[in-house]
Amino acid sequence: MPMPSLLRYFAVVGSALFGLLMFVNYLVQPLDMPAPSAPAPKPVVQHDPQASVIERWRDEQAAIKSADKPQTIPTQVAAAAPEPAPQAAPLPAELLTPPAADPPRIVAPASLTTTPTEVDARAAALKAEKVKAAKLRKARLARERALAQRQQEASRQQDQIYSQSRPAYVQAERPAFAPFGW
């Protein structure tokens, strides 16, 4: 049995699949859908020559939004004769006079409300905390450096051990008896 041509095979199978796709698209697409029309023209926007790309993009987006909104024309309705506004009763005199202003509050700084020994004690406590934190940080860094140094030393030792020894599966070199080392 002769082997069919691949070109003919792909042409037949490809056209069958394309036809199937077109048929499925026909079934899925609603019938009352209007035909695609040309895209709406972009509104022309004049940009500031020194404007950035983002500012130009924002201007274009604002122009597109304003073009998409339907223009509403206000309709003028014949208004009836304006109704007279109801007369309000006069307010009592107590409500018309402004209230008396509260006396200004005087806020003293913390150094005036506390004794100097309390302030000195707080400052000393804060300084002691900073010194303690610095010592702890230095100790932690020293531990980390020592650990890294030990790891580097162990790695160097391991490299030396492996470079000096030969694995058991490597054969020993053959002695060369010939003058040219065969």
Categorize the per-residue pLDDT at 13 as very low, low, confident or very high, splitting at 50, 70 and 90: very high
What pLDDT sits at residue 6?
A: 87
CA distance 55 to 57: 5
Q: What pLDDT digit, counting tens, does each position of 144-168 carry?
A: 999 999 999 988 888 887 777 666 6
Task: List the structure tokens of 82.
Answer: 């304006």
Whether the Cβ atoms of residue 65 and residue 40 lie closer than 8 Å to each other: no
Q: Please write the tens of the pLDDT for every residue from 115-135.
A: 667 778 888 999 999 999 999
pLDDT in tens, 31-76: 766 666 777 677 777 878 888 888 888 888 888 888 777 666 555 5
Q: Buried b / exposed e across 164-178, counting CB within 10 Å, b at 16+?
A: eeeeeeeeeeeeeee
Cβ contacts of residue 56 below 8 Å, gap of 6+? 45, 47
DSSP 130-165: HHHHHHHHHHHHHHHHHHHHHHHHHHHHHHHHHHHS
